[in-house]
Amino acid sequence: MRILIAEDDQVLADGLLRTLRKGGYAVDHVASGSEADAALADHEFDLVILDLGLPKLSGLEVLRNLRARGSSLPVLILTAADSVEQRVKGLDLGADDYMAKPFALAELEARVRALTRRGLGTAATLIKHGPLSFDATGRVAYLNEQMIELSARELSLLEVLLQRSGRLVSKDQLVEKLCEWGDEVSNNAIEVYIHRLRKKIEHGPVRIATVRGLGYCLEKIAP
């Protein structure tokens, strides 16, 4: 899951980056509204955490432009505690949730989980495909009810494949979902992650099928 943080307070942004990356998310950061607007127009994200008091272009303008492009990307807005009018405007423009500063990072993480699930069209915290499952809250994977030891990158890869189980996912889509700006992850590296994950789930009735030249698909093995 990939998140964009648009926040000009570097101390707060650093805290959000550390917390969300520790939670297994790929996170990018911009410090101005114009950068946020460009990033949202050019890249695919699963959530944007949007400060309304951004320089160069306000958070409200960024949100207005996002919705004008027809995007349904979940938006969590951050506002000063006393800016009720801005919060109302943000919600009216299509924001999905808001948090007033200061806030507890644990609460922000919970709202991020809820919004990313909503973006996928589900309220469930457990994603399942046959005996293979992923707990999005604890970020733990299970096969036949036994926990699988996976690296953070492998967990994120499994999450993407489970969200699209039965559907083809290209290497480019995986790079877009798993990697932050500046990550040097090639298609060959994706193949390595797929190989490692495939070995760890090979004893269950599911597999990661390769469609040569197109991508990968998580599917059940017929008995």
Q: Mean pLDDT score of the chain, rounded to an integer?
A: 84
Q: Provide the domain count of the chain.
A: 2
Indicate the residue among 96, 119, 142 that finishes a domain.
Answer: 119
User: Residue 92 sits in a domain of what CATH number?
Assistant: 3.40.50.2300
Q: Of 94, 119, 144, which one is at a domain's C-terminal end?
A: 119
pLDDT at res. 124: 59
Q: Pick the last residue of a domain from 70, 101, 119.
A: 119
15 is written with which tokens?
């805290």
For residue 39, what are the domain limits? 2-119
8 and 71 assigned to the same domain: yes
Give the residue, 121 or 47, on which the prediction is more confident.
Answer: 47
Residues 156 and 67 in one domain: no
Report pTM.
0.73
What pLDDT band is residue 122 in, cutting at 50, 70 and 90?
Answer: low
What integer pLDDT is reported at residue 119 of this predicted model? 57
Which pLDDT tens digit goes with each residue over 71-110?
889 999 988 766 777 778 888 888 889 888 888 888 998 8
Question: What pLDDT is attached to residue 87?
Answer: 78
Q: Please report which confidence band the pLDDT of residue 170 belongs to, taking 50, 70 and 90 as the band edges.
A: confident
pLDDT value, residue 120: 59
Percent of the chain at pLDDT > 70 equals 90
Instruction: Give residue 135's pLDDT.
Output: 83
Percentage of the chain surpassing pLDDT 90? 25
pLDDT band at 15 (very low <50, low <70, confident <90, very high): very high
Please check the confidence at residue 154 and state whether its pLDDT lies above 60. Answer: yes
More confident residue, 179 or 17: 17
